[in-house]
Structure 1
Amino acid sequence: MNLQSIIVANSIGIAVLIILQISSYLVRQRKKPSDRIFTVMITLTSIACASETLSFIADGRSFVGAHVIAVITGTLTYAINVSVSYLWCIYVDLRLYKEKSRLKKYYSWLGLPTVFLLGGLVLNLKLGFLFSFDENNVYHREPLGYIYFVSVFLYLGFSVCVRYRYYKDSAKARFFPIWMFLLPIIIGTTAQFLVYGISLAWCSVALGLLGTYMSLQNELSYIDPLTQLYNRNYMDHVLADISRKGTHIGGVMIDIDFFKSINDMYGHSVGDEALISAAEIIRKSKPAKSIAVRFAGDEFIIITKAEHELELMNIDKSLRTQLNKFNTSGRSEYQLSFSVGKALFNGTNNIDSFLNEMDDNMYSEKKRKHCRSTA
């Protein structure tokens, strides 16, 4: 690959990243840790695209400052290489588990190889055991320099293991197609690993980040922004798939009793807090491999694999237990109460009938409570 092609490839990468940075502005306003990590990866990748281009421009040249530029840009590119790989692992974990507590538990030790490799780059400035330059300022990759490429694949492999473990233990929707990020990088990095003189790695990282952002947008379209449960659009998608496959499932519809009185007495901001609290109770009550949906307003649905009514009764029991814990905790100035309706889908009956049965059963309980409250 000649210099002109290298400049074009990395310029495309920078252009993609600039567009990505602008497009993700609203997402970044959420100020979630995963969004911050994603922004850092975009920034570092942009720097790497520019740095690598400069390193090729300086390679084998003898103009004033060429050697200094070559050394600095080469070191910077190696450093960003391993740093972005490590940050990607953190990003994957935050996107999936959404728990900052896991970072200290698992990723402090996972960062030790990165610290070690960054230290190696500092030593390389003096010893030249990773990469070096001859008297003509021509770059030479030393055998130990391949460790940095290997580290990238190890970190990427670790992220795949994290994703596999998560989806094995969870029924969450697979909005995070990790291979959209990994495949371009694997192809580009492998090519650059095998043949010095081509520049595809950082442009491929830019494309991978773009694919990741697209998957994030897909996820946001299926998540209720207030409760962070799935929304009705996603439930319709799931139920259509279930109907097509004829899968046996159970459904539990939940409605917050006297929700209007909470809004009237305490205001809509407290009403929103009540919805968030209800979602938290439902999330804690549902089986591991099931989905919880904000169906409409103050109505929620749990969809789970089930063959018998007893399985749905256990969910109902769990809901009552978590509800009692919330009401006796003194966390809020209001009390929550649920009306619950259950139904089974045997794979042959109509999805609308399944939803209507849940709705009818739920309203039967709600009607009894309202009758008692006015008696």
Structure 2
Amino acid sequence: MNIMHVYVASAVGIALVLSIIICNASILKNEKADYNMLRYMLIIVAIACFFDVVIFVSDGKPGATFRIANLLGNTITFLATISICLLWNSFIIFHLYGETAKTKRKVKLLSIPAIIMSSITLINLFIPLVFTIGDDNIYRRTPLAYVFSFISICYILYSAYIHITFRHKKYVNFFPVGVFLFPVLTGYLAQTLFYGLTTGWVSVAVGLCNTFMSIQKENAYIDRLTGLLNRAYLFSSKLYTSMHGGIMLDINQFKYINDTCGHNAGDHALIEVAAILYESIEDHDYAIRYAGDEFIIFTENKGIECLLQLKEKIITELSKINSLPNRDYNLSLSFGLGEYDPELESFDEFIHKLDTNMYIDKKAYYSTHQELSRRKTRN
């Protein structure tokens, strides 16, 4: 074993962690649960890279000091491995499904194997269950260590399962879970099978670097307020090329909500509409926050009947929201429906058609609610 390889691998791992922290300062300031998981992972990787050096420097050297360093270093890296696996799963769950009571319960359940493994690792300081440090001060794994490796791999693969089974897969197209898993699995399998290689922690650092790049891309394409895809994603992906119809919507009396109930209420109204669209669309549909209080749904379904059915579904969800108690305002939407055939019209012409149809619907709404109209043109 060339100790210089250990120095280089650990130095690269720590350098990657520092680069991530410097280049992603704004992301790391976010107090959301998923970003908290990433912060903890970065700290753990840096610590583990340092103790990787301690382990390989101490291994086989005579003396009580080196023996304590060897025992402590391996204990910390075992605990770090367990923690990384749990934190990564927690990150995926919170990132995709949000910080809800249900996701918190799921994370607690996932913590049980990690807590058991951590407890056994700490007991190993006194009773050699996972690894031994012999009289020659050489580290050796026990069979239980391979069980730990298997459980760790199961943790990692389960995170892939969570990602794959996420209902709205299109919202994670620019966050492929493999950007983290591939380097991590490759590095840890190599280190598990061939003692002396130190590819494990630097591979986690590479995976985290890839993760942060994917988050940057995700942040560029997802509207921060509503969580829907944004206009930049619409034109970057050109998803409309495979669509056959669309609905443009905007909120009636939106300025009234802002002026009367406050801008926080206006933001909440936008979030509510986004939630309605999110619940109404199918897997092959796309909901976009187009501009301000305007939204567009694109669907692969052909025919005006499919669009009308989707509209009714949205209206039903809207009624459920409005029926909730203690509301300061009722939501109302104007709709512009239209079929799309790229061979007969350009995308701009299609958008103009939706906008025109929506304005006709809005005009009809205010003709029956004249007391709400601020002006004779659109809201």
Shift of 1:241: 4.0
The residue type equivalent to 2:311 in the other structure is: D
Q: CA deviation at 1:196?
A: 1.1
Distance of 1:209 and 1:303 partners within structure 2: 33
Amino acid at match of 1:193: T
User: What SS does the corresponding residue of 1:342 show, helix, strand or coil?
Assistant: strand
Give the conservation status (yes or no) of the 8 Å contact 2:243–2:298.
Answer: no
TM-score scaled to structure 2, two decimals?
Answer: 0.90
Q: RMSD of aligned C-alpha atoms?
A: 2.1
| Structure 1 residue 95 displacement after superposition | 1.6
**1:205-354 equivalent positions in 2, closer than 5 A:** 205-238=204-237, 240-243=238-241, 247-346=242-341, 348-349=343-344, 350-354=346-350
Which residue of structure 2 aligns with residue 148 of structure 1? 148
Aligned to 1:332, the other structure's residue is in SS state coil
Aligned 8 A contact 1:170 1:289 in 2: no
Counterpart of 1:115 in structure 2 is: 115
Partners of 1:335 and 1:295 lie apart in 2 by 22
Residue 359 of structure 1, aligned match among 335, 355, 359:
355
Mapped to 2, the partners of 1:170 and 1:204 lie a distance apart of: 26
Any idea what SS the aligned residue of 1:126 has?
coil
AA at the equivalent of 1:138: I
User: How big is the shift at 1:331?
Assistant: 4.1
Provide Cα deviations, 1:274-333, integer angstroms capped at 9, x if missing partner. 222322333233334422111111111112221121211112112222222323324432
Aligned equivalents of 2:66, 2:355: Cα separation in 1: 73
CA positional deviation for 1:66: 1.0
Return the letter of the residue paired with 1:11: A
Shift of 1:347: 5.2
Q: Which amino acid is 2:146 matched to?
A: Y
Measure how far apart 1:187 and its partner are. Answer: 1.6
**Paired position in structure 1 for 2:124:** 124
Pairing 1:58–2:58 present? yes
Deviations 1:71-111 (CA, angstroms, capped at 9, x unpaired): 01111111111221122112112222225333344343333
Corresponding residue for 1:27? 27
Give the residue type in structure 2 aligned to 1:25. A
Give 3-state SS (helix, strand or coil) of 2:44's partner: helix
Identify the residue that residue 376 of structure 2 maps to in structure 1.
none
Q: Equivalent residue for 1:183?
A: 182
Counterpart of 2:98 in structure 1 is: 98
Quick one: distance in 2 between partners of 1:85 and 1:51?
A: 18
Whether the aligned pair in 2 keeps the contact of 1:259 and 1:271 (CA below 8 Å) is yes
Structure 1 contact 251–303 (Cα < 8 Å) conserved: yes
Structure 1 CA distance for aligned equivalents of residues 326 and 28 of structure 2: 30
The 8 Å contact of residues 255 and 298 in structure 1, kept in 2 or not, is answered as: yes
Tell me the secondary structure at the aligned position of residue 172 of structure 1.
Answer: helix
Q: Match of 1:204?
A: 203
The 2-side partners of 1:53 and 1:264 are apart by 61
How far the C-alpha of 1:63 sits from its partner, in A, is 4.6
- For the residues of structure 1 that align with 2:97 and 2:203, how far apart are their CA atoms? 26
Higher mean displacement: 200-209 or 307-316:
307-316
- Whether contact under 8 Å (1:41, 1:84) holds in the other structure is yes
Q: Residue 213 of structure 1 aligns to a residue in which SS? A: helix
- Partner-residue secondary structure (3-state), 1:252: strand
AA aligned to 1:183 is F
The answer on whether the counterparts of 2:48 and 2:76 sit within 8 Å (CA) in structure 1 is: yes
Q: Which amino acid aligns with 2:122?
A: V
AA of the residue aligned to 2:49: C
Structure 2 unaligned regions, length at least 5: 372-379
Query: 1:36 is aligned with what amino acid?
Result: N
Question: C-alpha separation between the residues in 2 aligned to 1:287 and 1:129?
Answer: 51
Aligned-residue identity in percent: 32
- What's the secondary structure of 1:9's corresponding residue? helix
Give the SS at the match of 2:60.
coil
Q: 1:222 to 1:115 in 2, by over 3 A?
A: same
Deviation larger for 208-217 or 51-60? 51-60
In structure 2, the CA distance between the partners of 1:261 and 1:129, relative to structure 1 (3 Å rule), is closer
Q: How many Å separate the matches in 2 of 1:187 and 1:75?
A: 22
Partner residue in 2 for 1:36? 36
Write the distance in 1 (CA, Å) between the matches of 2:176 and 2:363.
44
C-alpha distance in 2 between matches for 1:205 and 1:173: 21
Q: TM-score when scaled to structure 1?
A: 0.91
Structure 1 distance, partners of 2:326, 2:299, is 29
The 3 A distance-change label for structure 1 pair 182 and 339 is: same
Verify the 8 A CA contact 1:292 1:302 in the aligned structure 2: yes
The amino acid that maps onto 2:350 is F
Contact 2:184–2:200 (Cα < 8 Å) also in 1:
yes
Quick one: distance in 2 between partners of 1:343 and 1:52? Answer: 61
